[in-house]
Amino acid sequence: MTKVLIVVDMQNDFIDGSLGTKEAQGIVNAAAEEIVKDYDLIIATRDTHGENYLDTNEGKHLPFVHCVKDTDGWQIAPVIEEALNKKENVEILDKPTFGSNQLVHILKEHDKEKPIGSITLIGLCTDICVVTNALLVKTAFPEIPISVVGSCCAGVTPESHEAALLTMKMCQIEVI
């Protein structure tokens, strides 16, 4: 059975860039350590926006330009990139919004080839993109054990991080 790790949006803008926090900076090394563990498949997502971000629906509600494609802020953090480069089966997925239906599609294709036994999520921001993708994955794979490593995630605030972890717990996603 395939053990999958989903690394959500571990990008410079969410760590020490336009939307960075000290909590996000504090989980980078733990996330890198999780990446090099025994996973058969790793899918890393990148929040990806265009120059017109502020004109989008998301931009109107979160008016902070971030993760514009091909900018430094859009890049995966160097420590995370280094950890990903140590692994063989890594896929990078650019996503234009919080949750990714394409992520679910990729997982379904892998599940056809070799059944998925477990899915673990880590990344940023717990209360936006991690929870959204965790719930999409749980909906698509209700019988597969899904977990999130709380110490490898950070939210916009510590309070919203905890609220997102509680939401995932309530939806039968194990918080470890």
Rounded to whole angstroms, the Cα distance separating 31 from 27 reads 6
The neighbour count for residue 14, using CB atoms within 10 Å, is 27
Ramachandran angles phi, psi of 11, nearest 5°: -110, 155
pLDDT value, residue 38: 96
pLDDT classification of 65: cutoffs 50, 70, 90: confident
- Counted residue by residue, the chain has a size of 176
Q: What are the C-alpha distances in Å from 62 to residues 5, 29, 149, 156, 157?
A: 28, 27, 26, 12, 15
Fold of 2-175: Rossmann fold (3.40.50)
Report CA dihedral (106, 168, 26, 28) to the nearest 10 degrees: -10
Bridge partner residues of 153 (DSSP): 123
Joined together, the tokens standing for residue 113 give: 């080839």
Ramachandran angles phi, psi of 68, nearest 5°: -75, 125
pLDDT classification of 11: cutoffs 50, 70, 90: very high
Domain boundaries, the chain: 2-175
Percent of the chain at pLDDT above 90? 95
Please check the confidence at residue 5 and state whether its pLDDT lies above 90: yes
Rounded to whole angstroms, the Cα distance separating 129 from 117 reads 23
The answer to whether the beta carbons of residues 153 and 130 sit under 8 Å apart is yes
Q: Quote the mean pLDDT of the chain.
A: 96
Rounded to whole angstroms, the Cα distance separating 23 from 29 reads 12
